[in-house]
């Protein structure tokens, strides 16, 4: 799951390098790359693609496709730090959905860890703006980015449910296929002239996204939603580090404190989960 966060941070950084390309085009290239690689692997017998729960796969693909487009739009319009921090609110909703939809037992320690991590995200976000004007600065792109949190939380629970019937490869292939159908019309990619550099970066966007997505999907096969979701909160920290070191974004004292809270919460919930399992054993 930690490697998932690193790949997703690399993916966001690559998108930041090509903000002159529209979000629908970037998303479409991501889906096409995933389809080609997984399709070739299946054709050569390296992976097996079987689609059992087709309705849930379709829903996962539609929600994932919309979420990816909005994520890339947030990076383009808001920047890698602020955009990904808003997107990263989805673990809160994943925890809520997991309790409501798949009846995972709510844990006080996990809930406290998620709330603490969310407070850390708030501090990191406050470092990008005047804290007194934080909520007043929200516009349409901030709201769209924040909506990815709700979508992402539901997607995580759906992935958890799909693992009862389908493989990680089938789940990801379905996302790419449905996402492509959603993005191909609005993208109008046939009207664009991409440079050689753009093509290379777009290819890397697809590869890093596929690696991260497959790792995340496989991780949720073995991790409880609350544990995996809390670990995924490392992603905005990695993105912020990339924003500072690569793109010259400012890292305030509040952002440092927020990052520490997020990482500490992630480590804490994993240790508590392991200790609980050992006690049961």
Model confidence at 133: pLDDT above 50: no
What pLDDT does 278 receive? 55
| Per-residue model confidence as pLDDT tens digits over 9-39 | 999 999 999 999 999 999 999 999 999 999 9
Cα-based torsion angle of the residue sequence 179, 23, 75, 129 in order, rounded to the nearest 10 degrees = -120
Give me the residue spans of the domains in the chain.
Answer: 2-280
Q: What proportion of the chain, given as a percentage, has pLDDT over 90?
A: 35
- Within 8 A by CB and 6+ apart from 230, the residues are 91, 110, 113, 114, 117, 265, 266, 269, 270
CB atoms within 10 A of CB 43: 10
Contact 212, 8 (CB under 8 A): yes
pLDDT-derived band at 270 (thresholds 50, 70, 90) equals: low
Report d(CA 152, CA 240) in Å as an integer.
20
Alpha carbon 217 to chain centroid, angstroms: 11
Mean pLDDT score of the chain: 82
Residue of higher predicted confidence among 61 and 274: 61
Sign, CA torsion 139/60/91/101: positive
| pLDDT tens digits along 39-53 | 999 999 988 898 999
Of the listed ranges 52-56, 80-84, 238-242, the least confidently predicted one is: 80-84
Alpha-carbon gap, residue 109 to 123, rounded angstroms: 21
First and final C-alpha spacing in the chain: 24
Tell me the per-residue pLDDT of 96-124, one tens digit each, with 9 for 90 and over.
777 777 676 767 777 787 788 778 777 76
Q: What is the mean pLDDT of residues 55-79?
A: 92
Q: Indicate if the pLDDT at residue 178 is higher than 70.
A: yes
Task: Tell me which long-range contacts 181-186 makes (C-beta under 8 A, separation of at least 24).
Answer: 181/65, 182/62, 182/65, 182/66, 182/69, 183/24, 183/27, 183/28, 183/31, 183/65, 183/69, 184/28, 186/24
Is a pLDDT exceeding 90 seen at residue 146?
Answer: no
Give pTM, 2 decimals: 0.80
User: Tokens at residue 254, please?
Assistant: 């509040």
Give the pair of three-digit tokens for residue 55. 């309705």
Neighbours of 159 (CB within 10 A): 27
């Amino acid at each position: 799951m930690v490697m998932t966060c690193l790949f997703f941070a690399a993916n966001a950084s690559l998108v930041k390098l090509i903000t002159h390309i529209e979000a629908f085009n970037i998303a479409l290239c991501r889906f096409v790359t995933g389809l080609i690689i997984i399709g070739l692997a299946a054709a050569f017998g390296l992976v097996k693609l079987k689609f059992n729960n087709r309705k849930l796969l379709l829903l996962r693909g539609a929600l994932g496709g919309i979420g990816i487009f909005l994520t890339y739009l947030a990076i383009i319009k808001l920047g890698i730090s602020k955009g990904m921090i808003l997107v990263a609110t989805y673990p809160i909703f994943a925890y809520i959905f997991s309790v409501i939809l798949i009846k995972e037992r709510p844990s006080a320690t996990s809930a406290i860890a998620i709330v603490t991590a969310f407070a850390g995200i708030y501090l990191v976000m406050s470092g990008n703006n005047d804290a007194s004007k934080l909520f007043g600065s929200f516009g349409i792109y901030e709201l769209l980015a924040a909506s990815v949190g709700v979508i992402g939380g539901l997607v995580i629970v759906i992935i958890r449910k799909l693992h009862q019937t389908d493989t990680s490869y089938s789940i990801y292939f379905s996302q790419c296929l449905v996402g492509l159908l959603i993005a191909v019309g609005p993208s109008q990619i046939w009207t664009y002239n991409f440079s050689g550099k753009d093509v290379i970066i777009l290819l890397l966007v697809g590869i890093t996204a596929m690696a991260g997505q497959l790792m995340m999907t496989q991780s949720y096969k073995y991790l409880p939603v609350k544990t995996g979701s809390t670990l995924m909160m490392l992603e905005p920290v990695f993105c912020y580090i990339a924003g500072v070191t690569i793109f010259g974004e400012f890292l305030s004292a509040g952002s440092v404190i927020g990052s520490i809270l997020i990482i500490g919460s992630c480590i804490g919930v994993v240790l508590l989960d392991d200790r609980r399992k050992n006690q049961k054993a």
